[in-house]
Amino acid sequence: MTKVAFIQNTLYEYFGPMYISAVLKQNGHECDLFVTQEEKNLNQSIKEYNPDFLAFSIMSHDHKWALETSAKLKKRFNIPIIFGGAHPTFFPQIINYPGVDIVCVGEGEYALLDLANKFKNVDIRKIPNLWVKEKKEIYRNPVRPLVDSLDSFPFPDRELYYKRYKFLKEFPTKRFITSRGCPYNCTFCFNHVMRQMYKDKGKPVRIRSPENIVEEINHIRKEYGLKTVRFSDDTFTLNHRWLLEFLDVYKKKVNLPFTCLCRANELDEEIVKKMKEANCASTTFGIETGNEELRNKILRKNLTDAQIVNAAKLLRKYKLKFGTYNMIGLPGETIEDAFKTIKINARIKANFPTISIFQPYPGTELARYAIHEGMLEPDFNIGHLGTMHSALKLKNGKELQNLHKFFYLCVTMPWTIPLVKKLIKLPPNRLFKFIYMASYAHRSLISFRLNPIDALKIGLKMRKSLMTD
């Protein structure tokens, strides 16, 4: 038996650790998880658990924290440390840093199982999906074929989080995924890179059966209580044939309110009507920018203003609330473009619009474009990424960053736009950040169907990062 301790810095349920833990436990191993911000004494918690190795599942925005934390833990415990998740998948060279012994590239369930099975007495240098560092030598292994049937996986191990963190266990909305992979080619995303990585290694887009998903939902409903289901797939509405079948099964066997992500171009009247009948409470789709040329020429979103407006009309016709994802501070974006993004959201009456400052993740086409256009240094340090500021050299960059804080206010109350145009010329300040935090809490209240107390808890948990980023 091998004991694995997952380490993360935010109180959030990640599917990667939960799926890996489920597979490991199914095969006789043990797993635990520690959220650093919630632990009174992380070192003591790890010492008491006494794991065989530590595992970090990280995104690009938190890789700097992971490197700093792993280096300290390596010095303290001197046990192997493995990095997995999106950032190590696309930048396995992170293994060269102190505190990183193994990197998992791509999907990690069976790579980690092989590692756990062989950990104590067999050579681990040839396990597919793993890069392994021994002394000064690095062993780089190719990825294994993708698992074709997602139904073959055990359900995600939510107890990994719930046994320690009551807030997550009692949270009334719980997340589920019905598929893996995305067929689109947006330049700000890594999905197209993932498809290249797994070329000839299996189907990049795979979908669970309706029965398998419903079984998991009803299990969680029975064990932990559940008020709202949130499907977190990149695009829940991708496969119409599957979706229509699933909605029928869901309506008969679950019928809880649910939320999901979609694409505006994938919605038609039949789909929206079926979603409403199956108790869909809301959906969210990406607009990214109100400048159609920027959206399609630079971002390659392949989405027109007409499709966005039509989707919104259908959703309003069937009284389905909807949100939007948007970005500000894109390469080549002007203040006028940013206000176009506000105006299209106001025009379609988005119920809970979301805005983020564009982050140029290295390795994406859009980051390379920003470098080519002189907006980003070729040796750009990904550690400079942050949620409250832009890494690009932009004309009117400070104004765009300020507008980010007022976005939700402007969309929901367009009459504030003239005032905001004046306010964004002021230096960034904490009041603007507070306005953003209050906007986030309000959007969470309606999009996650929360009561005011839960929304306040989310706002308070965000406060530290918002005030210091």
Show which of 98, 123, 140 is a domain's final residue: 140
The answer to whether residue 92 is domain-embedded is yes
- pLDDT, position 437: 86
Average pLDDT over residues 367-376: 92
Q: Tens digits of per-residue pLDDT, 80-114? A: 999 999 999 989 999 999 999 999 999 999 999 99
The mean pLDDT of 190-219, rounded to a whole number, is 94
Residue 375, domain member (yes or no): yes
Q: Is the pLDDT of residue 452 over 90?
A: no
Q: Is residue 158 part of a domain?
A: no
Whether 214 and 88 share a structural domain:
no
Q: What is the pLDDT of residue 426?
A: 95
Q: Are residues 136 and 175 in the same domain?
A: no
* 185 in Cβ contact with 239 (< 8 Å): no
Tens digits of per-residue pLDDT, 18-37? Answer: 999 999 999 999 999 999 99
Q: What is the CATH number of the domain that holds 59?
A: 3.40.50.280
- Report the pLDDT value the prediction gives residue 271, as an integer from 0 to 100: 98
Where do we find the tokens 């989405």?
Answer: 303
In a domain, 326, yes or no: yes
269 shares its domain with 373 = yes
Q: How many domains is the chain built from?
A: 2
Quote the CA–CA distance of 52 and 45 in Å, as a whole number: 14
Same domain assignment for residues 241 and 350: yes
Q: Are residues 189 and 118 in the same domain?
A: no
Please indicate, yes or no, if residue 403 is contained in any of the structural domains.
yes
- Mean pLDDT over the full length of the chain: 91
Residue 460 has pLDDT above 60, yes or no: no
pLDDT band at 462 (very low <50, low <70, confident <90, very high): very low
pLDDT band of 468, cuts 50, 70, 90: very low
Whole-angstrom distance, CA of residue 413 vs CA of residue 407: 10
Q: Report the run of H or E that residue 55 belongs to, with start and end.
A: strand 53-57
- pLDDT > 90: what percent of the chain? 77
Q: Which of 140, 162, 181 is the last residue of a domain?
A: 140
Co-location of 352 and 433 in the same domain: yes
**Strand-pair partners of 61:** none
| pLDDT of 442 above 80 | no
pLDDT over 90 at 285, yes or no:
yes
Among the candidates 97, 121, 140, a domain finishes at 140
Same domain, 449 and 343: yes
- 176 and 133 in a common domain: no
User: For 146-191, how does the pLDDT look when each residue is reduced to its tens digit (9 = 90+)?
Assistant: 999 999 999 999 999 999 999 999 999 999 999 999 999 999 998 8
Q: Residue 134: helix, strand or coil by DSSP?
A: strand
Contact 92, 133 (CB under 8 A): no
Sheet containing strand 228-231, strands side by side: 173-176, 228-231, 258-262, 280-288, 321-328, 352-357
pLDDT value of residue 121: 65
- 109 and 14 co-located in one domain: yes
Domain membership of residue 386 (yes or no) is yes
CATH number at residue 211: 3.80.30.20
Could you tell me if 161 and 33 are in contact, meaning their C-beta atoms sit under 8 angstroms apart? yes
Q: Are 323 and 250 within one domain? A: yes
Same domain for 116 and 189: no
Whether 119 and 253 share a structural domain: no
Q: Quote the domain boundaries for residue 58.
A: 3-140
> What is the average pLDDT across 392-410?
92
Establish if 161 belongs to a structural domain: no
Give 469's pLDDT tier (boundaries 50, 70, 90).
Answer: very low
pLDDT band at 467 (very low <50, low <70, confident <90, very high): very low
Residue 388 lies in a domain: yes
Residue 257 is given by DSSP the state: -
